[in-house]
């Protein structure tokens, strides 16, 4: 039965391993671990290029796969598994139940809450499914306006959340905007904005990824596409069609990469859903929420070269940052995405700006760094982060209304397939 010679056995094993690893590489799932913060541990983590998450109460939190765990064992650095604690609670506080995400929205909780808003405010809210994810979850949009059920010639503005699964706070800020506008509709300032605009909010562009972060792996970023090489996921914020795949710095051709761009622009149903919505409307401004960094970014992302509307993009960002700072005192840095943060290609806001010439922003919500929690905002941070972003969002809606002149109706007729950059005409001159 078995080969007699050990060398044959070895060869067989090697071939088997190659075969298996070529067919189905194990998804590169890592654990969150913590080690005591000693100079030796710090050095080891840095030398081995661990992904560091944060420091908390004298311990360093990092990601570790089998190789990293081995290395720690060899160096006799004791570690603890922490993955199970990574609810949005700060470690050391109450731990949420398995599979729950506390005050944050799961897919079903968001569905329920959006439908409840529509039910309570039928005149001002209408919920649409703008598409389905790979795993057949609906991608919901809620439209807020007077007469929400009918399309009226009013200024359209778009807010997106959760392209990236682990960025839970990016679901809450746009969702809470919808809730706020509806609950405060009797406030004359809110009513005036809502009546003159049509505000479209898609809080969860990546529901499959989000569910995966709740039930499987808190640190997941991409969608849940099974790639040809057996790895999972496409970075939805590298899958849009403006200079898609421009270079391998701003996105990756490697399926296992966290910034894998996919096999083609708009290859994913999630980005197709956003594209469909965008092409059916004449949005005048948009924000896509992410976390974390506390920055306001505008095109271009694919290059460090300023966009032709740079001055206008900068001025609006400056005002948003100022309004944000007035609430809780937090400073959001702002600037061109490629130069302030890093270059990306295939990102959402390059596409919306490139296609329609509208002010398009990526807001990276707090915290500012890993030390303050990275992707894991405490539940008690949800309200303050929403509250500080509210005046920035309202300002952008107001700006869009103020600057939508006669051109609004004309641009509304724009059809899918409008030539790139054609929409730039509709933008007010700086
Ligand atoms: O890399 C991204 O997609 C965004 N950052 S995140 O940490 N949330 O993943 C930033 C996109 C903004 N665009 C550029 N920096 N070019
Ligand atoms: Ca209306
Ligand atoms: Zn993100």
- pLDDT category at 406 given cuts 50, 70, 90 is low
Could you read off the pLDDT of 135-148 as tens digits, one per residue? Answer: 999 999 999 999 99
Confidence at residue 30, expressed as pLDDT on a 0 to 100 scale: 72
Structure letter (DSSP) for residue 226: B
Ligand 1 site, residue 296, Cβ cutoff 6 A: no
- pLDDT category at 380 given cuts 50, 70, 90 is confident
CA distance 226 to 335: 35
Asked whether the beta carbons of 156 and 281 are under 8 A apart, the reply is yes
Ligand nearest to the CA of 148: 2
Could you read off the pLDDT of 284-316 as tens digits, one per residue? Answer: 999 999 999 999 999 999 999 999 999 999 999
Could you read off the pLDDT of 246-292 as tens digits, one per residue? Answer: 999 999 999 999 999 999 999 999 999 999 999 999 999 999 999 99
User: Which of 162, 221, 237 to probe ligand 1 with, by most ligand atoms within 8 A of CB?
Assistant: 237
Nearest CA to 209 out of 179, 246, 229, 239 is that of 239
Spacing, Cα 168 to ligand 3 middle (Å): 10
Looking at per-residue pLDDT, the higher value among 126 and 424 belongs to 126
Structure letter (DSSP) for residue 302: S
Could you read off the pLDDT of 53-94 as tens digits, one per residue? Answer: 767 678 888 888 888 899 999 999 999 987 766 554 444 444
Spacing, Cα 311 to ligand 1 middle (Å): 21
User: Which of 222, 242, 297 to probe ligand 1 with, by most ligand atoms within 8 A of CB?
Assistant: 297
Spacing, Cα 419 to ligand 3 middle (Å): 28
CA distance 339 to 239: 20
| C-alpha count within 13 angstroms, C-beta hemisphere, residue 256 | 10
Could you read off the pLDDT of 103-123 as tens digits, one per residue? Answer: 899 999 999 999 999 999 999
Could you read off the pLDDT of 147-174 as tens digits, one per residue? Answer: 999 999 999 999 999 999 999 999 999 9
Confidence at residue 218, expressed as pLDDT on a 0 to 100 scale: 81
- Residue 333, Cβ neighbours under 10 Å: how many? 15
- pLDDT category at 126 given cuts 50, 70, 90 is very high
Asked whether the beta carbons of 168 and 213 are under 8 A apart, the reply is yes
Looking at per-residue pLDDT, the higher value among 219 and 229 belongs to 229
Nearest CA to ligand 1 atom 1: 344
Nearest CA to 231 out of 198, 253, 205 is that of 253
Ligand 1 site, residue 297, Cβ cutoff 6 A: yes
Indicate which atom in ligand 1 lies nearest the CA of residue 170. 8
Nearest CA to ligand 1 atom 4: 290
Confidence at residue 213, expressed as pLDDT on a 0 to 100 scale: 87
Nearest CA to ligand 1 atom 3: 237
Looking at per-residue pLDDT, the higher value among 364 and 430 belongs to 364
Ligand 1 site, residue 348, Cβ cutoff 6 A: no
Which single residue is written with the structure tokens 């306001």? 296
Indicate which atom in ligand 1 lies nearest the CA of residue 343. 16
- Which tokens go with 227? 């790639």
Q: List the beta strands (DSSP E) in 49-154.
A: 51-56, 59-64, 79-81, 125-132, 138-144
Asked about 364 being catalytic, the answer comes back as: yes
> Of 31, 154, 211, 364, which residue is the catalytic one?
364
CA distance 261 to 17: 28
Could you read off the pLDDT of 343-363 as tens digits, one per residue? Answer: 999 999 999 999 999 999 999
Indicate which atom in ligand 1 lies nearest the CA of residue 250. 16
* Average pLDDT of the residues of the chain: 86
Could you give the dihedral angle defined by the CA atoms of residues 146, 110, 82 and 96, in that order, rounded to the nearest 10 degrees?
Answer: 100
Confidence at residue 84, expressed as pLDDT on a 0 to 100 scale: 66
Spacing, Cα 154 to ligand 2 middle (Å): 6
Structure letter (DSSP) for residue 88: S
Q: Is 415 exposed, middle or buried (0-12, 13-18, 19+ CB in 10 A)?
A: exposed
Ligand nearest to the CA of 162: 3
Spacing, Cα 258 to ligand 1 middle (Å): 12
Q: Domains plus CATH for the chain?
A: 18-85 (3.30.70), 107-402 (3.40.630.10)
Ligand 1 site, residue 333, Cβ cutoff 6 A: no
Mean pLDDT of 193-216: 94
Q: Is the pLDDT of residue 181 over 50?
A: yes
Nearest CA to 347 out of 207, 280, 249, 218 is that of 249
Ligand 1 site, residue 338, Cβ cutoff 6 A: yes
Ligand 1 site, residue 163, Cβ cutoff 6 A: no
Asked whether the beta carbons of 94 and 67 are under 8 A apart, the reply is no
Q: Is the pLDDT of residue 6 over 90?
A: no
Q: Is 264 exposed, middle or buried (0-12, 13-18, 19+ CB in 10 A)?
A: exposed
User: Which of 222, 300, 344, 348 to probe ligand 1 with, by most ligand atoms within 8 A of CB?
Assistant: 344
- Which tokens go with 289? 């929420």
Looking at per-residue pLDDT, the higher value among 289 and 219 belongs to 289
- Which tokens go with 233? 């996921």
- Rounded percentage of the chain residues whose pLDDT exceeds 70: 83
């Amino acid at each position: 039965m078995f080969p007699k010679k050990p060398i044959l056995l070895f060869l067989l094993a090697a071939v088997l391993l190659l075969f298996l690893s070529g067919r189905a590489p194990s998804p590169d799932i890592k654990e969150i671990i913590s080690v005591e913060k000693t100079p030796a541990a710090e050095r080891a983590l840095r030398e081995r290029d661990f992904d560091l998450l944060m420091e908390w109460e004298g311990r360093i939190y990092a990601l570790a796969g089998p190789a990293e765990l081995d290395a720690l064992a060899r160096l006799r650095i004791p570690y603890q598994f922490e993955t199970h604690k990574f609810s949005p609670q700060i470690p050391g506080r109450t731990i949420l139940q398995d599979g729950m995400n506390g005050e944050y929205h799961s897919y079903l909780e968001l569905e329920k809450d959006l439908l409840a808003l529509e039910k309570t405010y039928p005149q001002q809210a209408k919920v649409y499914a703008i598409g389905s994810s790979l795993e057949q979850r609906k991608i919901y949009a809620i439209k807020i306006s007077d007469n929400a059920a009918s399309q009226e010639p009013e200024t359209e503005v778009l807010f997106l959340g959760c392209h990236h699964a682990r960025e839970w706070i990016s679901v809450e800020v746009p969702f809470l905007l919808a809730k706020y506008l509806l609950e405060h509709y009797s406030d004359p300032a809110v009513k005036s904005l809502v009546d003159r605009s049509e505000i479209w909010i898609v809080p969860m562009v990546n529901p499959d990824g989000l569910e995966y972060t709740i039930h499987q792996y808190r640190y997941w970023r991409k969608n849940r596409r099974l790639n040809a090489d057996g790895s999972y996921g496409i970075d939805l914020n590298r899958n849009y069609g403006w200079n898609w795949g421009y270079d391998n710095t701003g996105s990756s051709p490697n399926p296992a990469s966290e910034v894998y761009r996919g096999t083609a622009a708009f290859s994913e149903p999630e980005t197709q859903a956003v594209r469909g919505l965008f092409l059916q409307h004449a949005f005048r401004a948009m924000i896509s929420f992410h976390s974390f960094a506390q920055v306001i970014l505008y095109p271009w992302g694919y290059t460090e070269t300023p966009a032709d509307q740079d001055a206008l993009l900068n001025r609006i960002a400056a005002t948003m940052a100022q309004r944000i700072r007035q609430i809780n005192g937090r400073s959001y840095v702002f600037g061109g995405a490629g130069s302030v943060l890093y270059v990306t290609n295939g990102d959402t806001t390059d596409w919306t700006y490139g296609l329609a010439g509208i002010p398009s922003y990526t807001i990276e919500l707090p915290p500012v760094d890993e030390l303050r929690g990275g992707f894991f905002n405490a539940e008690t941070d949800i309200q303050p982060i929403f509250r500080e972003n509210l005046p920035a969002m309202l300002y952008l809606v107001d700006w869009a209304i103020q600057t939508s002149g006669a051109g609004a109706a004309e641009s509304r007729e724009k059809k899918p397939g409008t030539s790139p950059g054609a929409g730039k005409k509709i933008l007010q001159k700086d």
